[in-house]
Structure 1
Amino acid sequence: MRQDRTLADGGFTVRAGRLRACALDLADYWTPYGSGPYHSGATKVAVLAAAVADGTTVLDHVYGKPDVLDMVALLRQAGVDVEEPAHGRLVIHGMPDLPTAPSAITLPADLIEVVTWCCASLLSPEGITIAGAGMDRALRALAPELHVLRTLGVPVRTGTDTLTVGPAALPLAPVDVVVSADGVFSDSQPFLTLLAGFAEGVSKIQDTVWTSRFGYTDQLAELGVKLDARDGSVGVHGPWSAAVPGRRLTAGDLRAAAVLLLAALHVPGVTHLSGMSHLARGYADLTGQLRRLGADITEA
């Protein structure tokens, strides 16, 4: 099989006349924690390549979250024979001439938007009900996060296509959370950190996927949250009681923007936030929805 590789403009292009089947262990993309930032992407690329490869590919230690499982379901609808003989293994019988007949699948609710509203439930004295098609699949995917919420003391009630969160009695209980490829999502980590700020005592949240994803903690500290971020984890010393008004904060990424927005709504007076343009990358209308719940948000 002839391959051409081109590296230019910060990216690369690979061309192959035909893909051939092989055996791959996706654990090669783990960090020493048995997790890591490349496991999800490597699994998805391997699954797609195996689907059109010539022969049978065996993938071990696959990333088992819904984004991969839904991809497998769609490939099966398209006619690809995918076996799951054991947990963490996929056997894919490739179809080099994969038919192009249309297939349809209903995606679950956006998982981290659900987590965002779980965090926002502390803003509402009645709690918040989240509804959407495919919510049952989203809730299965978020089982680790829901366990953390219950441990914190946040009431969680599930329905066929709904999730009701709160109201919660403050202070919450401290938690010890490990973010990993098969557990709590790394994207959920900032929201759980904010919730831990309302707990009585010390909480620890360790991220084994994106170990440096704590840039938002300095900004939360500006609002009075007591945090200690180091070595891939953050310690939260609660409860957060001395909220500091009048701060000007900047969000460096999508989840930081959402967390700072929710945190600012707990602070008396006016907080000025910049970097909120990041929200458009992950939410359809987060600020508008919060306003409909009564939040006082003005966009400059």
Structure 2
Amino acid sequence: MSVDALPRPAAPHDTGVLTVRGGVPVDGTVSVSGFKHVQVLAVAYAIGAGRRTVLTNVPDILETRTYLRLLPQLGISTTQMGSSLLLDPGTGTGSRMRAGQTLPESAAAIHGSLYLLPALLAAQGRVGFSAFGGCPIGGGSDGGRPWRHIVRVLEHFGARYDERRRELTLGHQGFQAGELDLALFADDPRNLTGPEYSGATKAALLAAAFADGTTVLHRPYQKAEARALLDLIAADGATVTRTGTSVEITPRPAGRSAVLTYDLPPDLLEVVTWATIAAVTGGTVHLANVTPRTIEHGLGPEYALWRRAGLTFTPEASGVTVAGPDHGAFAPLPEIRVDPASVYSDSQPLFAVLATRCPGPTRIVDGVWSGRYHYLDGLTALGADARRVPDGIAIGRSGLHAPAAGAHVHATDLRCAAALVVAALASSGGAVHISGARHLERGYDRLPAKLEACRAGSALQAAL
């Protein structure tokens, strides 16, 4: 078995079915939940830094539920208080974290457990692992996602990897500071893209925050969740110096004991989802607790494409209101390229649904996750003019429609499920039955309930 060929966790037998009857505008107000991509990094930082931490605006998603089961097994106390989560690495079921542990099997349910590796190494000097989960969007035959790059990053900071035992260890000196060019983890060092670049940067930021001395990271991934992690590290007392192409981190001084409180920022991918819902159904959605800066700064490439297509974003005192163009007069979006300097790969399936409303064709190329086109069969089943082309897909303007007897489509991953739900909401005709809808729990806090609050409830029937 190759190093990257860890066994994938078995898929749940009951994948859930969501039935959607679309063809009506979705209107209402949505409170956007905390950003999953930041939550997994904040949890890892709290553990590695040994900091009693309160996270607020915590979403009710699979990651959160998994952590509530997983962390106490590692000796880390967790207390949930509504949408707040208290983590105490020093007072778990024993008097302190138990040294030299292997990640429990439940870690395989979520991809974010990768970032527990630098955290537990910093906290206890050794960690074993057996499998990592997440959506099957990798380039392997089973869609497995890479993890070896995380090991290579940690080795750069002084960790040792035993492949036979599948464990990482640190010497008594802990992580060692130094310099690292993150372009080494990109498929193309000039374009800084590929499936390993983002994760390698996040692991390096965490290791640098726990290291002995000052670390300089060149050409790091710089999208919103990486910036949020740097903000958290700085708020805890570290010295963080950023330039256009590098970041320098000197860890916080020892001895800080006050509780660290961190409010998770709004989930940018939930913003993308609701903006797409409003646009393709001809509705108007008010995003509460989201500022124009959240959208323009966190979703700059997406925002530029939305404005080009004709979507409007109206700032209000309590948030931002999103709507499509008047009379559905969308403008063309000839090409959408996904890479760390452009739109999120997570946004890509939702832009594919938006493209069915635009004069085409629209060519979409995902340079991060090559397996993120599984929604294509579902879109074509609903009448979309969509097909594979070299390096990506092409989508023409299409009227989405389900047969009177209904349509059956299947979701294989989180954003595939989201794209099919949005496409079903935009479809006229019969009901759309979406199997695999349980994947929504990986990244959406009560999406069916929020749709119901937006007067789309009569269109939904869940069996999750």
Give the direction of change, closer, same or farther, for the CA distance of 1:98–1:255 in structure 2 (3 Å limit). farther
Say if 1:5 and 1:15, in contact at 8 Å, map to a contact too.
Answer: no
Give the direction of change, closer, same or farther, for the CA distance of 1:158–1:179 in structure 2 (3 Å limit). farther
Q: Quick one: distance in 1 between partners of 2:351 and 2:417?
A: 14
Under a length normalisation based on structure 2, what TM-score does the superposition of the two structures give? 0.60
Give the structure 2 partner of residue 155 of structure 1. Answer: 312
> How much does 1:167 deviate?
3.7
Higher RCO (CA-CA < 8 Å; seq separation 6+): 2
Give the structure 2 partner of residue 166 of structure 1. Answer: 323
Q: Which amino acid aligns with 1:235?
A: A
Task: After superposition, give the CA deviation of every residue in 1:87-136 in whole Å (9 maximum; x if it has no partner).
Answer: 12111124584745322232221010000000110355441111116663
For the residue of structure 1 that corresponds to 2:162, the secondary structure is strand
For the residue of structure 2 that corresponds to 1:272, the secondary structure is strand
Give the structure 2 partner of residue 51 of structure 1. Answer: 209
Under a length normalisation based on structure 1, what TM-score does the superposition of the two structures give? 0.90
Say if 1:136 and 1:160, in contact at 8 Å, map to a contact too.
Answer: no
The share of aligned pairs that are identical, in percent, is 32
Give the direction of change, closer, same or farther, for the CA distance of 1:216–1:248 in structure 2 (3 Å limit). same
Task: After superposition, give the CA deviation of every residue in 1:254-279 in whole Å (9 maximum; x if it has no partner).
Answer: 11111111111222111111111111
Give ranges in structure 2 of 5+ residues lacking alignment: 1-156
Aligned residues: 297
Q: Does 1:20 align with 2:176?
A: yes
Give the structure 1 partner of residue 199 of structure 2. Answer: 41
Q: Which amino acid aligns with 1:256?
A: C
Q: Does 1:118 align with 2:267?
A: no
Give the structure 2 partner of residue 90 of structure 1. Answer: 247
For the residue of structure 1 that corresponds to 2:409, the secondary structure is strand
Say if 1:20 and 1:55, in contact at 8 Å, map to a contact too.
Answer: yes
Give the structure 1 partner of residue 186 of structure 2. Answer: 30
Q: Does 1:220 align with 2:379?
A: yes
For the residue of structure 1 that corresponds to 2:170, the secondary structure is strand
Give the direction of change, closer, same or farther, for the CA distance of 1:202–1:256 in structure 2 (3 Å limit). same
Q: Which amino acid aligns with 2:444?
A: Y
Give the structure 1 partner of residue 337 of structure 2. Answer: 178
For the residue of structure 2 that corresponds to 1:104, the secondary structure is strand
Q: Which amino acid aligns with 1:234?
A: I
Q: Quick one: distance in 1 between partners of 2:222 and 2:158?
A: 32
Give ranges in structure 1 of 5+ residues lacking alignment: none
Say if 1:52 and 1:98, in contact at 8 Å, map to a contact too.
Answer: no
Pairwise CA RMSD: 2.3
Give the structure 2 partner of residue 253 of structure 1. Answer: 413
Say if 2:309 and 2:331, in contact at 8 Å, map to a contact too.
Answer: yes
For the residue of structure 1 that corresponds to 2:402, the secondary structure is coil
For the residue of structure 2 that corresponds to 1:288, the secondary structure is helix
Give the direction of change, closer, same or farther, for the CA distance of 1:19–1:290 in structure 2 (3 Å limit). same
> How much does 1:219 deviate?
1.3
Q: How does 1:279-290 map to 2 (within 5 A)?
A: 279-290=440-451
> How much does 1:182 deviate?
1.9
Q: Does 1:299 align with 2:462?
A: yes
Say if 1:83 and 1:90, in contact at 8 Å, map to a contact too.
Answer: yes
Give the structure 2 partner of residue 66 of structure 1. Answer: 224
Find the partner of 2:235 among 36, 59, 77: 77
